[in-house]
Amino acid sequence: MHVVVTGASSGIGEAVAREYFARGAKVTLVARRRELLERIASAGASRAHVVAADLSDVDAAWAWLDEAERALGPIDVLVNNAGIQIVKHAEDTDWSEAERLLRLDLHAPLRLTTLLLRRMIPRKTGTIVDISSMAALAPTPGMFFYNAAKAGLAAASEGLRGEVKPHGIHVVTVYPGPVTTELEAKGRAAYDGGAAAKVPAGSPEVLARMIADAVEKKRPRVIYPRFYGLARHFPNMT
């Protein structure tokens, strides 16, 4: 199995890459920081391929997909994980920062998905994993653009599942609540001790196992920590 993980240099992406290495998969790791990727790739040895790329760059070439398949074979699983977060009042957010977030958190995964579907559909096999957020189900004040991007990704992901199922393609939509990562720590600190800064956090390693299991067992979605599953029915509770 060949798995592509974007945003693989830290946090959830790193945990997913390591989980798949542990399961014997081949993994292409994609992120901006090559030195971090190479450190993580050492866990997979010959089963690893490193791509240093900024997916928020609108002019970025996508030739690395061909390079990854030449290195490790056809891509079986795409994990759209790369993302950034802005915790700031909407009117105080610099528009260039907002556009970069939308490109990375929404446009890039949609673009990657369409490119890989063209390869997966003729083979009648493949899985797309979209790492959305609980912000898609229970939007958090102070994350105007992040809420929009993750809600957009979740809606696209949930709708795509039925569209591609007849072609043998599976889609997993992932809704993490707070998970202990560098990104989560920065977001929590930005709330400066408010209620949003005190919610419980999960483990990226546990989430990674749940994601890999969902791919294997063809489950439609993952919500973690499980407590946040209530938000699907009572979004104002979180």
Residues annotated as catalytic are 146
Percent helix / strand / coil, the chain, rounded to 5: 55, 20, 30
- Here the tokens at position 100 are 């970069």
Q: Of the candidates 143, 147, 134, which has an alpha carbon nearest to the alpha carbon of residue 235?
A: 134
148 C-beta neighbours (distance < 10 Å), count:
19
Check if the beta carbon of residue 159 is closer than 8 Å to that of residue 165. no
- The alpha helices in 73-143, defined as continuous H runs, are 95-102, 108-123
Residues contacting 59, CB < 8 A, separation 6+: none
Tell how strand 77-80 and strand 126-131 pair up. Answer: parallel
Element (H, E) at 160: helix 144-164
Tokens of 167: 């072609």
